[in-house]
A = this chain, B = another copy of it.
Amino acid sequence: MTEVPLGDAEATSLARTYAALSDPVRLRLLSLIASAGEMCSCDLVEPLAKSQPTVSHHTRILAEAGLIDGDKRGRWVYWRVSPKRSNFVSQVLGG
């Protein structure tokens, strides 16, 4: 159990992270990237059955939350779980 109640600043930062995780498409996307290790945004369209702009919208939100990092190569971005957040991501996907 948590020893000390969360402070305001910490609660605000955590709430932002959970907001990024509060969408089923983003959770599936994060799970696909975590399982694959690295994934091209071009390969996320088919398993999610979403358009490229929708995929990009969701990857942007996960990246802004610091959960994934993108590497642009040519016309595509390759996504990985942010190394600093890899334990946290395993945890949140395990539910």
Docked Cα-Cα span, A90 to B2, in Å, equals 6
Number of copies: 2
A5 interfacial contact with B, CB 8 Å: yes
Count chain A residues whose beta carbon lies closer than 8 angstroms to a beta carbon of B: 40
- Which residue among A12, A14, A23 has the maximum number of chain B CB atoms within 10 Å of its CB? A14
Min CB–CB distance A28 → chain B (angstroms):
5
A68 interfacial contact with B, CB 8 Å: no
Return the 5 tightest CB-CB contacts between A and B, nearest first: A19-B22, A11-B24, A18-B21, A6-B31, A18-B22
Binding site for B on A (CB under 8 A): 1-6, 8, 10-19, 21-28, 31-32, 34-35, 37, 47, 81, 86, 88, 90-95
